[in-house]
Amino acid sequence: MTERIIDDHDVAFFDLDGVIYLGPVAVPGAAEGIHAVLEAGARVMYVTNNAARSAETVAEHLTSLGFEAGVDDLITSAQVAANVLAETLTAGSLILVAGTRNLVDLVEGAGFRATGNADDGPDAVLQGYSPTIPWGLLDEAAIAVQRGATWYATNDDRTRPTDRGLVPGLGAQLSVVGMVVRRKPIVFGKPHAPMLDFAIRHTGARRPIFVGDRIDTDIMGANRAGMASMLVFTGAHGKRDLIETGPGDRPSYIGADVRALLEPPRVATQEGHAWLCGAASARLKDGRILLEGELTGQSGQLDALWALANLVWATNADATEALDRLDQLH
């Protein structure tokens, strides 16, 4: 068994919201963890579905929070969208952009014309997350799609973690348009292929790992790209989300935060009707799940969770009572 998870990987991709920071504040331990990953010799690349801010602005934010980050260490879904559209649409095409100024600038920089008016006859609509998007711009996007414009989206995250809690993400804004046009957009960000394909090409990664807080974007995207993944519990998804994941959507590893990359991998093994991880075990008895062993403290909790997850995935047992007990011990 490898001594540390990071030792098996040459590039570590990190989601930002909920993994590295929560709005204006850093996730506790994240800067320390990133520094340790760099010291271990792995390349660090930040990969975010949030299309609102430019890579330059995000890099400045990261630096102000104590992270080592330059523009070349960042990939945003807005950048990926502009790059792919440059290979897909005719130069000079008119695109209705429903997003921030950053998205407009990237679209124009890729050789397109941008508009916010459906009456201009746009060839395509590109939506990207904006925390202050005017409702009228969503109207224009819906009208343009109904008139035949191809509909694209930088990403489709339903929520976005902040220091105050979860807030609606771009997926909520897409739903507004989708309820009118009754179709779905072509999406570039995680878990869809364009984003992580771009990340792998950009870094030349051979043995990458993706660290994220969302199963439906980060973990699913990594699995689809054939790379290892680690779910951390500092953002959007928690214990119950992990237990409920189906085959193909499950992480390779779990960790409290990004510092888990510097720890040995958590491994669950089956013995009879029980799954063991560290000093914790989860087993079925008379149709109920019993959690036993060392269940307290962060490490004990994660060991118990990993044992429980593997038991449920193998048996489809009802984990409600066991999860309630874990929550009470937290």
Predicted confidence (pLDDT) per residue in 232-260, tens digit = 999 989 999 999 999 989 999 999 999 99
**pTM of the full predicted structure?**
0.90
Q: What is the CA radius of gyration of the chain?
A: 21
Of 3.40.50.300, 2.60.40.420, 3.40.50.1000, 3.40.50.150, the CATH number of 78-187 is: 3.40.50.1000
Q: What is the pLDDT of residue 9?
A: 97
- CATH 3.40.50.1000 occupies which residues in the chain? 5-49+191-262, 78-187
Q: What is the pLDDT of residue 168?
A: 94
Q: What is the pLDDT of residue 2?
A: 62
Q: What is the CATH number of domain 5-49+191-262?
A: 3.40.50.1000
Distance CA 53, CA 302 (A): 34
Active site residues: 15, 17
- Per residue in 31-43, pLDDT (tens digit) is 999 999 999 999 9
Tens digits of pLDDT across the chain (330 residues): 568 999 999 999 999 999 999 989 999 999 999 999 999 999 999 999 999 999 999 999 999 999 989 999 999 999 999 999 999 999 999 999 999 999 999 999 999 999 999 999 999 999 999 999 999 999 999 999 999 999 999 999 998 888 899 899 999 999 999 999 999 999 999 999 999 999 999 999 999 999 999 999 999 999 999 999 999 999 989 999 999 999 989 999 999 999 999 999 999 999 988 999 999 999 998 889 999 998 888 999 999 999 999 999 999 989 888 888 888 766
